Amino acid sequence: MCVLVSQEEATDGAAVNQAAQTIPIRALLVKNPGLEPSKKRSLTKKAKREQEQLSKELQHKFLCGPDAQAAVEAAQAKAKYCTIKEIRYDIKLKQSRRGRPSKDSSSNKIKIASVAAVVEVSIDQARLSQLIERECLYVIITTDVERNWTMRELLELYHGNSVIERYWRSSKSDKLLPRISLENEDRIETLVWLKHIAVLARCVIEYKLREVAKEDPLVVPPPHEPNIPETEVTIERVMNYLDKRPVCLQFNQETGKAYFTNLSTWAKSIFRALGPTWIRLLSPNLYKMEHFNIVHG
Q: Where are the domains of the chain?
A: 1-32+136-166, 38-98+109-127, 235-291
Gap between the Cα atoms of 61 and 90, Å rounded: 10
Mean pLDDT value of segment 212-221: 76
* pLDDT score for 123: 92
Calpha distance 133→31 (Å, rounded): 8
Rounded to an integer, the average pLDDT of 92-109 is 66
Average pLDDT over residues 73-96: 85
Mean pLDDT of 160-179: 65
Closest by CA to 284, choosing from 254, 259, 253, is 259
Q: Which residues of 160-190 are buried (b: 16+ CB within 10 A; e: fewer)?
A: eeeeeeebeebbeeeebeeeeeeeeeeeeee
Amino acid at 252: N
Model pLDDT, residue 294: 47
Position 129 scores a pLDDT of 92
| Per-residue confidence band for 9, with pLDDT thresholds at 50, 70 and 90 | very low
Average pLDDT over residues 19-48: 82
Contact in structure between 180 and 227 (CB atoms under 8 Å): no
Whole-number pLDDT of residue 50 = 92
What is the rounded radius of gyration, in angstroms, for the C-alpha atoms of the chain?
Answer: 34
> CB-side exposure of 156: number of CA atoms within 13 Å?
5
Bigger pLDDT: 122 vs 293 = 122
For the question of whether the overall pTM of this predicted structure is more than 0.75, the answer is: no
Confidence of residue 224 (pLDDT cuts 50, 70, 90): low
Type of residue at 261: T
Q: How far apart are CA 277 and CA 246, in angstroms?
A: 20
Q: What is the Cα–Cα distance from 285 to 272, expressed in whole angstroms?
A: 18
> Cα–chain-centroid distance for residue 167?
16
CA dihedral 62, 63, 66, 70 (to 10 degrees): -30
Per residue in 57-75, pLDDT tens?
888 888 888 888 888 889 8
Residue 43 has pLDDT above 90, yes or no: yes
* Alpha carbon distance 88, 270 (integer Å): 69
Taking residue 23's Cβ as centre, other Cβ atoms within 10 Å add up to 12
pLDDT, greater one: 219 or 31: 31
Segments of the chain assigned E as strands: 2-5, 26-31, 61-62, 82-95, 110-123, 137-142, 248-252, 257-261
pLDDT for 147: 80
Residue 222 is predicted with a pLDDT of 67
* pLDDT at 49 (0 to 100): 93
User: 1-10, 118-127, 183-192, 203-212 — which is least confidently predicted?
Assistant: 1-10
What's residue 107's pLDDT?
58
136, 157, 137: which is closest to 14 by C-alpha?
Answer: 137
Could you give the percent of the chain with pLDDT greater than 70?
73
